Amino acid sequence: MNPMLVDVMRGDHLESQHAGAVYVVDDRGTELLSIGDVNALLFPRSAIKIMQALPLVESGAAKKYDLNNRQLALVCSSHNGEPAHTQTAESILRAATLSASLLECGAHMPYHKASEYQLVRSNQAPCALHNNCSGKHSGMLAFAAHQGFELFNYIDLQHPVQQTIADVISDLTEFDIQSAPCAKDGCSVPTWAAPLKSWAQALAKISRGKGLGESRKNAFASLQQAVMAEPFYVAGTDRYCTNSMAKLSTPLFIKTGAEGVFCATLPEHGIGITLKCSDGSTRGAEMMLSATLKKLGLLKDNDQAVLDQMLNITLKNCNDFAVAQIKPASFWGF
């Protein structure tokens, strides 16, 4: 069983706890942190969108369609469905002369409340562009168009888009993805389960391209740079991924996935991070990543104040009283 890593306090008393597993490794293979069952098979969900985005860049499609940092960040994103996000998804499709009607991710209301309410007020249903995965799907379609693949059913496991991604993931994780548990993600594309530590090892390779071929190294550098340069486009207003990358001056690539997953890299240090909050909660996973960053001690000195804020989250009730607090559990020894 994974250890308790996050405490949720009400007043001065422990109310809830989150257990988790964390693995941090560098691209020389040095294990920097190993907590809990890091050999457990983990569905990384949206936390590896950078791996799913790789074929778009490596194939030359992103260059051909002249995609900019915002567009590339959106391909790696789980976005809020804010107007800037939906417009950017549309612009990716337009660059490849594709229509939004080709998107197979399904529709859901924007995560962003004001954007949700804007749709409600104008009596509009959400469309596939509002789906938090529409950037990824637009990138998959652009890649398919560039390769001359059939566009229909690009979400299917056997479609060459998904098989190309499976090969990328197998190469990076050194885990046989073809025989791994495979399930459907929220946006209907395949998600494969590999050992938690294998995902972190893959991210360490991605971080500065060590051991990768030149084109793959450059493609991952472009994608990380795009996300770090335009963090609003990888998530959005009031989101952990966006805020942490925007506020911390240390170069960091951070991406969350459903059910309490985070993948991250510290490109200057060649480090990959993967973690899972056992119960799947977002608040638990976010605090685990903040605690991991503190434990590693690699952030720049001028980032300490921001990190301290990230390590002590106060929750207010609807009368604006501070009623609860989320913080690292005693396990961390802070």
> CB of residue 130 vs its own copies: minimum separation in angstroms?
10
Helix (H) or strand (E) holding 148: none
Binder among 33, 182, 221, 313 for its own copies (CB under 8 A): 182
Helix (H) or strand (E) holding 16: strand 13-26
Task: Give the binding range for its own copies (CB under 8 A) out of 68-76, 117-125, 171-179, 296-304.
Answer: 117-125
Binder among 38, 187, 202, 273 for its own copies (CB under 8 A): 187
Binder among 121, 158, 301, 333 for its own copies (CB under 8 A): 121
> CB of residue 240 vs its own copies: minimum separation in angstroms?
18
321 binds its own copies (CB under 8 A): yes
Q: Name the residue nearer to its own copies (CB basis): 269 or 283.
A: 283
CA distance 77 to 132: 7
Rg of the chain (C-alpha set): 19
Binder among 101, 158, 179, 319 for its own copies (CB under 8 A): 319
Q: Name the residue nearer to its own copies (CB basis): 60 or 83.
A: 83
105 binds its own copies (CB under 8 A): yes
Q: Name the residue nearer to its own copies (CB basis): 159 or 205.
A: 159
279 binds its own copies (CB under 8 A): yes
Q: How far is CA 68 from CA 85, 89, 275, in A?
A: 14, 12, 29
Assigned token pair, 130? 């509002």
284 binds its own copies (CB under 8 A): yes
CB 69, CB 52: distance < 8 Å: no
181 binds its own copies (CB under 8 A): yes
CB 202, CB 173: distance < 8 Å: yes
The greatest distance separating any two alpha carbons of the chain, rounded to the nearest whole angstrom, comes to 61
DSSP labels, 253-288:
EEEEETTTEEEEEEGGGTEEEEEEETT--HHHHHHH
CA distance 182 to 149: 23
Which residues sit at the interface with its own copies, rule CB under 8 A?
1, 4, 8, 10-13, 15-19, 41, 43, 104-108, 117, 120-121, 123, 131, 181-188, 191, 193, 259-260, 278-281, 284, 317-321, 323-324
